[in-house]
Structures are given as structure tokens and as C-alpha cells.
Chains A and B, each alone.
Chain A
């Protein structure tokens, strides 16, 4: 149901009954390794190209989610997925393998929450019984797409971020009151915001205003205060973007406390891993939410969280043509309801 200007409230409480989370070797050495279902030792994942490895990451995450939920892929009505590669081929090729009716999404690193919002909407309104949604990224494949060759010896500035190798998939289904699972209660779809920043090595700074805008819209539309949530977590703003977004939100008059405002890109790796400003990539918010955060919710650490995935909607071409970086953020609220 539409509430306010750009938010949906899911009164039927669609549930996330199972998730599948895969990662690469760098994530295996990270902070949240135990929250991944499957970690690959090698960036190639036994494939002969990084793009194929990217696809396998996503396919494996889907298979794990289906196995955990104990359902067959034929029972799933739709797959909502996307990634950062040209024409989102890893997601589309995974949909070819899985033979599940498919919506291909591109929201850069906000794809995870774009997919979850759409999946929840469809399930909430009886459009499907089971929907899979997810996002993925592969460090080497994405760097190849957007930046220099991985072995090129250029010096990354302290504002740069590290693209996550990983895929996170969630199975969203109709609420079943006899089961206790995290439910999706609302979502706010973001506007595209461009504050005129053009440095592709400072994505956090470019994306922070989009995150702040969506968070403000969420509380305005739903008539809530930030204290409603135990945790408000952004997707991949990194250190600079996260600090900037925090200041923007507090300046807007919302009372947000530092301890309840976190960033997936700052959680996934250890302090001593050489990632400059933090993590990024479509797989960042997907793996952290569908792995770590939902596990914490099930343990009872969080009752209500708001996940705000941020995406920078640039391409290597627009950056070379000196265009600024338009950004977007989508927010989805997830709650444990007794």
C-alpha cells in the first residue's frame, strides 16, 4: 500500500524464509566470514573468466537459498536480480541456468534493496508465492568494468573503496504466522540525486546525499522517528560517505544516534585489510544483510532494522565524458515480529 509520497507499507508482512550468501577469498579473511554460507578460496571459482566466476557466485547463492528453504526452483515464481557488469549478464545468465521467470534490475549497488522492495511488493499483493531476489558483484570483474586492470600499479586515494566479491540472495514468501522469520514491513524508493561530484574514487561522498534523502523521505512518509529502528544501516557509503550522510541527516532535524547508524561497507572487512575507505559493490549490502544482519536479528540483537542500499549510477563512459555522478538509495525495513 502506498504511504506518503514514495513509500510502500507491506501490511501482509512478507517473510524472508531463507537466504544464500557466497563470497570470495578476500571476504573469507574479513570480519563477517562466519556469516557466509559458502566461501571460495580462489577468485576464479574454477571458471576460465572472472565474469563466469561472477555468475557462479550468484547461482550458488540461489541454490543455497532454495536448499535451506527446502523448495524446488520450479516453485519460485520470479527472480529479481542485478549486478554491475555490462547488461547485467551474470544475473541474466544465472536466470538462464535456473529457468525462473526473471526481472533484471540495474540500480548499481542499490540493486539489493530495489529487488527486495519489488519482491516484497509482489508477494504482499498476492502476485507470487515465492520470489527470489538478490545482487552480486565480483571484485576483478567489476574493477575491469569500471576502473583500471587489476594488476595495474596505480595508487588508489584514501577515498577509494574495495568492491566485494560476493552474492546475497533472499527467498521472500507469503507470511506464515506459524513460522518466525524476519518480515519486510515497508520500503521507500529513492530519487536520483546528483550533488555535482565527479570523482569516481570518491563514491561515498557522491552517494551520501541520496542516502540522506531516502532516509528523510522514509520517516516523513511513514510518520516515524529514527528511534523506531534499532539499526539504520547504509549499503556501501564507506567512511567518508557515512560520516557525511550522518551530518546531513542530523542537520535535517532527524534525531539519529551514532550507535544506531552503521554501514555495511564498514562492517564486512577487518581494519587491517587494505580497502581504503571501506567496501562497495552490489554484493556488499546483499551479503551483509542476508548473512550477518539477518543472523543477528534471529539471535535477537536487533528487532527492527532499516537497510538503505546506495548506488552510484555512473558508467565508465559518462565519467570519461566529465559527467557528474547521479546516485540513488532505496530503503527497506525488516522486523522480527512476535
Chain B
């Protein structure tokens, strides 16, 4: 954002103040409420799917996460393919971006987008262009957390 920049001339600063008067701010509170309910609804659906797998397919609470996540990602990919998920995203914001369905949407939307450049350079080369940083920093964060936990348990704290 403009306010973070250094080296702003007085003229630029004056303009930016004038511009800010006209700039429409994001409706943060409304977005938060929408995100809370849509994100919550997605999680409720996920929970229902978990129970479904536990009840009908002999999964346990420990290992039901895998088929549940796969199903949710699959559903979000279908919705992305039909052009629905981006509309949901405009309404729900973080509510549809943060759950694992948002990850599925990031992967498949990039894959669809670059289909016209072929399977190797297009789909293969681009499908993780948005999700790639989620994977990288997700795996790295998991590594750091695991390292801390290991050290703490070695020292007898945990």
C-alpha cells in the first residue's frame, strides 16, 4: 500500500490523501461475517462427510481426515470447473479461501487457465503457481513446529 512506501514526494503525498477520500474501502466487518458463516458452513459439510466415512466405511477419527480432505478438494474442483467457486469466493472471501477447498480451487483454476498452453508447459508448469507457495511454506512451517515439539519432548518439557 502507498502508506508503506518510502521516498514519497510531497506532491505524491498530497495526491494520495486526496485520492483516499474517494477510495472505497473494503467492507471489512461484512466480509468477516460472511467469511465466518461460509467458512463455517464448509467445515460443517466436511464434518458431515467425516461422520459419513466413519459410519459407513470403518474409518476412525484418526484416519478419516484423508478421505474427507480428498472429497472436499474434489468437490471444490468440480465447483471450480463449473465456474461457481470464484463467485462464491467474491461473496465469501477468506471463508472459501482458507479451508482446504480454497487450496483445491487455487490448483484447478490455474490448471484450467493454462490448459491452452498444453499439458506439460501449461497445466504441469502452472497448476501450482498459486498453490505452490502454500505447499512450500506449509511444509516448512510443519517442519519447524515438529522440530520444536521434538526438542521440547527431548528436554522433558512435553
Interface residues of A (CB under 8 A from B): 48-51, 144, 148-159, 194-199, 202, 205, 208-209, 239-240, 243-244, 247-248, 274, 277, 324
Q: From known contacts A153-B90, A155-B90, A240-B22, infer whether A198 and B2 are also in contact, taking CB-CB under 8 Å.
A: yes
B112 touches A151 (CB 8 A): yes
- Residues of A close to B93: CB separation below 8 A: 155
B108 with A196: CB separation less than 8 A? no
Q: Are A196 and B18 in contact (CB under 8 A)?
A: no
- Can you spell out 19 A-B residue pairs with CB atoms less than 8 angstroms apart? A149-B109, A149-B110, A149-B112, A150-B113, A151-B80, A151-B81, A152-B105, A152-B106, A152-B109, A153-B90, A153-B92, A153-B97, A153-B102, A153-B105, A157-B26, A158-B24, A196-B8, A198-B2, A209-B15
* Chain B interface residue count, Cβ-Cβ cutoff 8 angstroms: 43
A54 vs chain B, min Cβ distance (A) = 12
Number of A-B contacts (CB under 8 A): 108
Taking a contact as CB atoms closer than 8 A, the residue among B16, B23, B113 that contacts A195 in the complex is B16
Contact A198 B86 (CB under 8 A): no
Query: Considering the chains assembled together, what is the distance between the CA atoms of A248 and B15 in angstroms?
Result: 9
Q: Once the chains bind, are A154 and B12 in contact (CB under 8 Å)?
A: no
For B24, give its contact among A148, A159, A198, A324 (CB under 8 Å).
A159
Which chain B positions have C-beta within 8 A of A199?
A: 1-2
Tell me, yes or no, whether B156 is within 8 Å of chain A by CB.
no
> B108-142 vs A: 1/0 string, CB under 8 Å?
11101110100000000000001000000000000
Complex contact A155–B89 (CB within 8 A): yes
> Which residues of A lie under 8 Å from residue B24 when comparing CB positions?
157-159, 239-240, 277
- By DSSP majority rule, is chain A's interface helix, strand, loop, or mixed? loop
| A148 CB contacts on chain B under 8 angstroms | 109, 130
In the complex formed, the residue of A with least CB distance to B94 is A155
Least CB distance from B135 to A in Å reads 16
Verify B86–A51 contact, CB threshold 8 A. no
Closest beta carbon of chain A to B28's beta carbon, Å: 11
Is A151 a contact partner of B19 (Cβ separation < 8 A)?
A: no
Bound-state Cα–Cα, A206 to B3, Å: 14
Give the complex CA separation of A212 and B26 in angstroms: 26
Option from B5, B26, B96, B113 in Cβ contact (under 8 Å) with A153:
B96
User: Which residues of B lie under 8 Å from residue A239 when comparing CB positions?
Assistant: 24
Q: Establish whether residues A155 and B31, one from each chain, have CB atoms under 8 Å apart when the complex forms.
A: yes
Say whether A205 contacts B89, CB under 8 Å. no
CA gap between A51 and B116 in the complex, in Å: 9
| Contact (Cβ within 8 A) A197 B2 | yes
| CB-defined contacts of A50 to chain B, threshold 8 Å | 116
In the complex the two chains form, what is the Cα distance from A109 to B83 in whole Å? 27
**Separation of A24 and B1 alpha carbons in the complex (Å):** 33
A274–B102 Cα gap in the complex (Å)?
22
